Amino acid sequence: MRRSLACDRSPENLARLAREVAAAYEAELANHFAIEEQVLFPLCPSLPMVAELLADHRALEGMVAQLRTTAAADLLVRFCGLLTSHIRREENELFQEIQRTLPREELDRAGADIGRRV
């Protein structure tokens, strides 16, 4: 997305990118966030990063709501930056901590629950 944004900041292109982000959010991220919040986060409520990751979800949702009405380059860049750092934090910290601390049976139950929801 950054390449498209850097090359063409026309209102038409920004509007197209904003629509694509909103559509991708609805198609992929909304359910993904719900699964994390309903299945994964309750498994580790004492981890401080859970509250921060929840705050990221709300911030990303808010940005998508803004993008539905305002196709701004800086908002698109902020959305992409936050989403990228959020994903890295989940993969590098949260998922590693969950695998390290939760019993195998609990991980298996969570995996099965996630499988039913996707």
Domain with 27, as residue range(s), is 2-117
Whole-model pTM over 0.85: yes
If one counts the domains in the chain, the total is 1
Q: Which residue has the tokens 């499988």?
A: 115
First CA to last CA distance, the chain: 25
**pLDDT at position 8:** 80
d(CA 4, CA 115): 34
**pLDDT at position 1:** 45
- In order, the DSSP letters of 65-114 are HHHTT---HHHHHHHHHHHHHHHHHIIIIIHHHHHHHS-HHHHHHHHHHH
**pLDDT at position 72:** 92
As a residue count, the chain comes to: 118
Q: Determine the residue type at 19.
A: R
**pLDDT at position 99:** 92
pLDDT in 10s for each residue of the chain, 118 residues: 444 555 688 889 999 999 999 999 999 999 999 999 999 999 998 999 999 999 999 999 999 999 999 999 999 999 999 999 999 999 999 999 999 999 999 999 999 999 999 8
**pLDDT at position 5:** 55
